[in-house]
């Protein structure tokens, strides 16, 4: 039995990895972190031209007709390079329209979303939220918790909406667990910036006041499935980021000298680096399995997605923290690049609910 990626998937991984490394190196990530928009429009257009933004969409709307596993390969590369931008939310918004929309909605929006000509985001979390970065587990992330609107107009507030400014379309979670489409130019829509830790993925609160909304006919049927895809993509991002942390720590240990020798020769640091690698490297299988289950094992997919998100994002936070420690004093400074992965780990941990939420969901799904 083959547990590796196919030649085509490996080529996709190599192509995206090379593109991001060339077009958005860490020097550019730092510039974007300090800037107003939080992402590079040229990189976004480049991903669109490569067909990456429509990988998971059907060919009849301009996509590649591939599966979540291919999209996860891209998400892992993005996490590895800590690339700023709206990849996650755009992918999920397009998926929601594809799976839950009418023919007219699909024809109107998907061709331009597949190329990145239009950009979409999701707006789902409501109510009081606890925790770091994106609201922790107790924000109302799950469809059964959504309360605003359920028809042609919506009123209320959505929190922790990623890259809301500049988005052309919002996929909004509605009362009853469905989705609706709100255009950015619609009346009664206002955004307010939320200052999060990871400035490469900007967050806003979005308020709706009798704002026109176009509900997706099958939104309630597909909401959990779309969110499960989001969990898998966050897990893939976390694996990429975690592996980048290990690589950065190893390289630093090879070059930094203390007491006249490379610090990588110290046994205590060797053990720490080995522990970090063992902690993150094997978890890639959880991502691959969850992505495979999403398209081929529907009964197992929800628990697999929740397990991947819970475990990978926990491990990413731990490995990123230990990466800062492995860099010593400089690891705590603004000048050190490892801060970007540490902050990214906290975003991945909290977005769409923290690990405790998903472990409770696994218990419920398995009847424990």
Question: What mean pLDDT is predicted for residues 172-180?
Answer: 95
Q: List the one residue out of 365, 367, 353, 246 whose CA is nearest residue 310.
A: 353
Query: Does residue 80 register a pLDDT over 50?
Result: yes
Task: Say whether both 288 and 268 belong to one domain.
Answer: yes
Task: Say whether both 16 and 105 belong to one domain.
Answer: yes
How far apart (Å, rounded) are the C-alpha atoms in residues 106 and 322?
45
Residue 1 lies in a domain: no
Q: Residue 202: which CATH number? A: 2.40.110.10
Task: Say whether both 233 and 321 belong to one domain.
Answer: yes
Q: How would residue 205 be classed by pLDDT, with cut points 50, 70 and 90?
A: very high
Question: What mean pLDDT is predicted for residues 239-249?
Answer: 96
Parent domain of 113: 7-118
Question: What mean pLDDT is predicted for residues 188-212?
Answer: 93
Query: Does residue 117 register a pLDDT over 70?
Result: yes
Task: Say whether both 132 and 142 belong to one domain.
Answer: yes
Instruction: Give 28 or 252, the one with higher predicted confidence.
Output: 28
Query: Does residue 132 register a pLDDT over 70?
Result: no
Q: Tell me, what's the pLDDT at 195?
A: 86
Task: Say whether both 145 and 209 belong to one domain.
Answer: yes
Q: Tell me, what's the pLDDT at 131?
A: 42
Q: How would residue 233 be classed by pLDDT, with cut points 50, 70 and 90?
A: very high
Q: Tell me, what's the pLDDT at 124?
A: 95
Last residue of a domain, one of 71, 101, 118: 118
Structure tokens at 173: 């979670």
Task: Say whether both 240 and 349 belong to one domain.
Answer: yes
* Degrees, nearest 5: CA angle 193-199-200: 120
Instruction: Give 282 or 255, the one with higher predicted confidence.
Output: 282
CA within 13 Å, CB half, 171: 33
Task: Say whether both 27 and 129 belong to one domain.
Answer: no
Last residue of a domain, one of 118, 151, 183: 118
Q: How would residue 270 be classed by pLDDT, with cut points 50, 70 and 90?
A: confident
Task: Say whether both 85 and 156 belong to one domain.
Answer: no
Last residue of a domain, one of 118, 148, 178: 118
Q: Residue 278: which CATH number? A: 1.20.140.10
Based on the structure, what is the number of domains in the chain? 3
Task: Say whether both 147 and 95 belong to one domain.
Answer: no
Q: Tell me, what's the pLDDT at 66?
A: 97
Q: Tell me, what's the pLDDT at 257?
A: 63
Task: Tell me if 365 sits within 8 A of 303, measured CB to CB.
Answer: yes
Q: Tell me, what's the pLDDT at 4?
A: 85
Residue 167 lies in a domain: yes
Q: Tell me, what's the pLDDT at 361?
A: 94
């Amino acid at each position: 039995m083959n547990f590796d990626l196919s030649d085509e998937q490996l080529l996709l991984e190599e192509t995206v990895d090379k593109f991001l490394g060339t077009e958005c190196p860490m020097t550019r990530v730092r510039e974007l972190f300090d800037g107003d928009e939080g992402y590079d429009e040229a990189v976004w257009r480049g991903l669109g031209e490569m067909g990456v933004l429509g990988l998971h969409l059907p060919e009849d709307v301009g996509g590649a007709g591939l599966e979540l596993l291919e999209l996860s390969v891209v998400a892992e590369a993005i996490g590895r390079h800590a690339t700023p931008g709206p990849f996650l939310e755009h992918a999920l918004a397009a998926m929601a329209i594809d799976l839950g929309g009418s023919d007219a909605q699909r024809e109107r929006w998907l061709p331009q979303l597949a190329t990145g000509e239009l950009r979409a985001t999701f707006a789902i979390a409501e109510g009081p939220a606890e925790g770091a970065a994106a609201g922790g587990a107790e924000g109302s992330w799950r469809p059964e918790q959504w309360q605003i609107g359920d028809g042609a107009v919506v009123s209320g507030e959505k929190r922790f909406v990623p890259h809301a400014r500049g988005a052309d379309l919002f996929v909004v979670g509605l009362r009853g667990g469905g989705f609706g489409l709100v255009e950015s130019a619609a009346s009664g829509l206002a955004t307010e910036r939320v200052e999060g830790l990871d400035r490469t993925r900007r967050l806003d609160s979005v308020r709706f006041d009798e704002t026109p909304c176009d509900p997706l006919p099958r939104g309630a049927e597909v909401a959990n499935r779309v969110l499960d895809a989001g969990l898998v993509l966050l897990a893939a991002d976390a694996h990429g980021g975690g592996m980048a942390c290990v690589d950065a720590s190893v390289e630093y240990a090879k070059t930094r000298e203390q007491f006249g020798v490379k610090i990588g020769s110290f046994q205590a640091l060797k053990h720490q680096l080995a522990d970090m690698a063992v902690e993150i490297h094997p978890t890639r299988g959880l991502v691959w399995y969850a992505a495979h289950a999403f398209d081929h094992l529907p009964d197992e997919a929800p628990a697999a997605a929740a397990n991947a998100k819970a475990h990978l994002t926990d491990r990413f936070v731990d490995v990123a923290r230990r990466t800062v420690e492995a860099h010593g004093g400089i690891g705590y400074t603004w000048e050190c690049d490892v801060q970007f992965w540490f902050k990214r780990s906290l975003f991945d941990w909290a977005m769409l609910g923290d690990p405790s939420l998903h472990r409770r969901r696994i218990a419920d799904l398995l009847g424990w």
